[in-house]
């Protein structure tokens, strides 16, 4: 109970008897005093009246204390089971969170969230686009392999520029215009210029990435976890999503280097994409420190060290 509220209740019940007695005395009719000495019966009546007043004060005082203690005990009886059940639910969620982040696969964002595979799949998409633009007549793209890669991709994120460029608002009851134009044959210089302005604006992600991120979202949306823990989980979501967006940024940056690294069909067919991964790995943000921070917060919240001492 709030200490201020408890003090107020005690003061109220202590002063209540005095207020009652004062009020009763004020309502009694005034007696005419005389100069004659008080008789023994008058003294006895006054003594009895005084004892009654003291008894009333003591009665209300004890009644007030009993009422306060009863309220405190009732409050404990009502809310203690609720707190216990809430704590049990918290322990279950804490256990699930710790198991998720203590999994060796999830400690490293690249493995746990499939970012290594995501980078490779998107890099292959970019390389196929590069081949189709520069070596269409020299290299045949393996369509079966493309289909296999597409099966792994369950969704994508796009840039704002991509939305503005390719997504158009459809007006109701409008007649579509025939904007078909024959495909132009670009010169070598035009192809080079087009590729220099290349941007990888659609980053595909895998089912594994989607499921892992949804798992963290479920943890952060739990109503029984502390707000600080919720904020830490949301921060990890943000960092992981940032690492996914970084895939598109890195592929855009290195796209201009492909012309120099793979100037002909022979070099592109022997391409090793390890250097792309190294470039990405140098920029991505590891979530290891964030997962360790969550584990430390849960230990502190549960006061594990104090429990072990006892």
Mean per-residue pLDDT over the chain, rounded: 77
Q: Give mean pLDDT, residues 283-289.
A: 86
pLDDT given for residue 137 in this prediction: 85
Domain boundaries defined on the chain:
100-166+185-309
**How confident is the model over 13-32, as pLDDT tens digits?**
555 555 554 554 444 444 44
Asked if residue 36 has pLDDT above 60, the reply is no
**121 near 251, Cβ under 8 Å?**
no
Q: Give the residue among 197, 194, 171 at the shortest CA–CA distance from 252.
A: 197
Enter the pTM of the model: 0.68
């Amino acid at each position: 109970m709030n200490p201020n509220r408890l003090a107020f209740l005690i003061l109220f019940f202590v002063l209540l008897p005095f207020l009652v007695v004062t009020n009763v005395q004020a309502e009694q009719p005034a007696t005419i005093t005389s100069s004659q000495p008080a008789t023994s019966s008058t003294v006895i009546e006054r003594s009895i009246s005084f004892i009654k007043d003291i008894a009333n004060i003591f009665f209300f005082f004890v009644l007030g204390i009993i009422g306060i203690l009863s309220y405190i005990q009732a409050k404990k009886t009502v809310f203690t089971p609720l707190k216990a059940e809430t704590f049990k639910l918290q322990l279950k969620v804490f256990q699930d969170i710790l198991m998720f982040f203590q999994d060796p696969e999830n400690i490293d964002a690249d493995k746990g969230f499939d970012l290594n595979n995501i980078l490779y799949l998107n890099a292959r998409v970019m390389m196929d686009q590069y081949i189709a633009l520069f070596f269409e007549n020299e290299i045949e793209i393996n369509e079966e392999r493309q289909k296999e890669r597409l099966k792994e991709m369950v969704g994508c994120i796009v840039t704002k520029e991509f939305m503005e460029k390719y997504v158009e608002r459809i007006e109701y009851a409008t007649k579509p215009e025939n904007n078909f134009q024959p495909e132009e044959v670009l010169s070598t210089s035009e192809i080079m210029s087009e590729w220099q302005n290349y941007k990888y604006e659609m980053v595909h992600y895998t089912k594994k990435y989607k499921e892992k991120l949804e798992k963290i979202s479920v943890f952060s949306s739990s109503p029984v976890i502390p707000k600080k823990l919720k904020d830490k989980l949301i921060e990890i979501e943000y960092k992981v999503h940032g690492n996914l967006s970084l895939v598109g940024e890195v592929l855009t940056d290195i796209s201009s280097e492909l012309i120099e690294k793979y100037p002909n069909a022979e070099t592109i067919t022997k391409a090793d994409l390890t250097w792309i991964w190294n470039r990405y790995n140098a920029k991505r943000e590891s979530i290891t420190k964030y997962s360790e921070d969550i584990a430390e917060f849960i230990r502190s919240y549960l006061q594990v060290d104090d429990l072990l001492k006892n």
